[in-house]
Chain A
Amino acid sequence: DQQVKQNSPSLSVQEGRISILNCDYTNSMFDYFLWYKKYPAEGPTFLISISSIKDKNEDGRFTVFLNKSAKHLSLHIVPSQPGDSAVYFCAADAGGTSYGKLTFGQGTILTVHP
């Protein structure tokens, strides 16, 4: 039962353009969402998060959008840089008695070409 899905296994973008990574979830109890970036042979690194009381959160080149009615969130990277090439994971937290249990999507490999 995959409660968090990243349906695009990979995405290829030209340097300077926008990268849009998508994530869908099924559990309506999820109320906190995070994006992590992962380089090979390293642990996931936190990028940006959003609470369900917001529909947008920005941090520099990274913006996360949340559409609660569609149970969908997306990560926008503008402008994309070659160093952004990595695997991006979406994660969700149900709050309350989840005690910080994060449910992850399967990741999207982003490749940014110079």
Chain B
Amino acid sequence: DTAVSQTPKYLVTQMGNDKSIKCEQNLGHDTMYWYKQDSKKFLKIMFSYNNKELIINETVPNRFSPKSPDKAHLNLHINSLELGDSAVYFCASSYRQGQETQYFGPGTRLLVL
């Protein structure tokens, strides 16, 4: 029983396309996050949602739009994909926001050609 799952695991697409990555957690957590791991291996937060409400929105291009249909799901939609969007995207969740252990999904490896 995977606690935090992401689909797809791999995504190869052309520049200019629109794609979505889905994330689901079955831990009953209130807070979910999206992180990006770039080519230099830094993990950087992009967004967080608490009970379907957007809490953190780092300086991310507005081509990236998170959507939380319920507190167990946080999806990431990316419009007009660019080469620089190639990265590994990790979803995470925590019991609540603030100073809580975050549990990560397996990652989605996005390659934009």
Residues of A within 8 A of B (CB): 31-32, 34, 36, 41-46, 49, 51, 87, 89, 91, 93, 95-96, 98-104, 106-107
Q: Nearest chain-A residue to B91 (Cβ)?
A: A43
- Cα A51 to Cα B90 in complex, Å, equals 25
A102 touches B106 (CB 8 A): no
Residues of chain A within 8 A of B107, CB atoms compared? 41-43
Residues of chain B within 8 A of A96, CB atoms compared? 98
| Total interface residues in chain B, CB < 8 Å | 28
B42 touches A104 (CB 8 A): yes
Residues of chain A within 8 A of B58, CB atoms compared? 101
A100 touches B40 (CB 8 A): no
Say whether, besides A95-B99, A100-B31, A101-B56, A106 and B104 are in contact (CB < 8 Å).
no
Q: Select the stretch in B13-21, B44-52, B70-78 that faces chain A.
A: B44-52
A98 touches B43 (CB 8 A): no
**CB < 8 Å neighbour of B104 from A41, A43, A87, A99:** A43
CB distance from A88 to the nearest CB of B (A): 12
Residues of chain B within 8 A of A45, CB atoms compared? 104
Residues of B within 8 A of A (CB): 4, 31, 33, 40-45, 48, 50, 55-56, 58, 90, 92, 94, 97-107
CB distance from B99 to the nearest CB of A (A): 5
- Cα A95 to Cα B98 in complex, Å, equals 6
A98 touches B104 (CB 8 A): no
- Cα A43 to Cα B103 in complex, Å, equals 9
CB distance from B35 to the nearest CB of A (A): 8
A100 touches B100 (CB 8 A): yes
Residues of chain A within 8 A of B50, CB atoms compared? 99
CB distance from A101 to the nearest CB of B (A): 5
B99 touches A106 (CB 8 A): no
Q: Nearest chain-B residue to A43 (Cβ)?
A: B104
A46 touches B43 (CB 8 A): no
A89 touches B43 (CB 8 A): yes
A98 touches B98 (CB 8 A): yes
Say whether, besides A41-B106, A41-B107, A100 and B94 are in contact (CB < 8 Å).
yes
- Cα A60 to Cα B61 in complex, Å, equals 43
